[in-house]
Structure 1
Amino acid sequence: MTGRRIVLATHNPHKVEEFGGIVSRVRPDLELVGYDGPEPVEDGVTFAENALIKARTAAAHTGLPALADDSGICVDVLGGAPGVFSAYWAGHRKDSTANLALLLDQLSDVADRHRAARFVSTIALVTPDGDEHVVEGVWPGRLATAPRGENGFGYDPAFIPDGDDRTAAELSPEEKNATSHRARAFVALAELLRAL
Structure 2
Amino acid sequence: MFLTPNEANGNLPWLQWDIRLPSRLAQRRNHYAQTKRLCSKYRKQPATVPGLSWVKISYNATIVSAFSNRWGDILVEKPASAEAVTMGDVLDAIYDFFHQQVRHEEMLDFRSSVPEAWAAAEKAFYQRCDQSPGITQVEVSGGMRRVDCLGERHTFWGMWVMHTCERNVVTPWLNLGLMPDLPPGQFTSMGWE
TM-score, with structure 1 as normaliser: 0.32
Judging by fraction of residues, say which structure has more helix. Answer: 1
Structure number with the bigger relative contact order (C-alpha 8 A, sep ≥ 6) is 2
Larger radius of gyration: 2
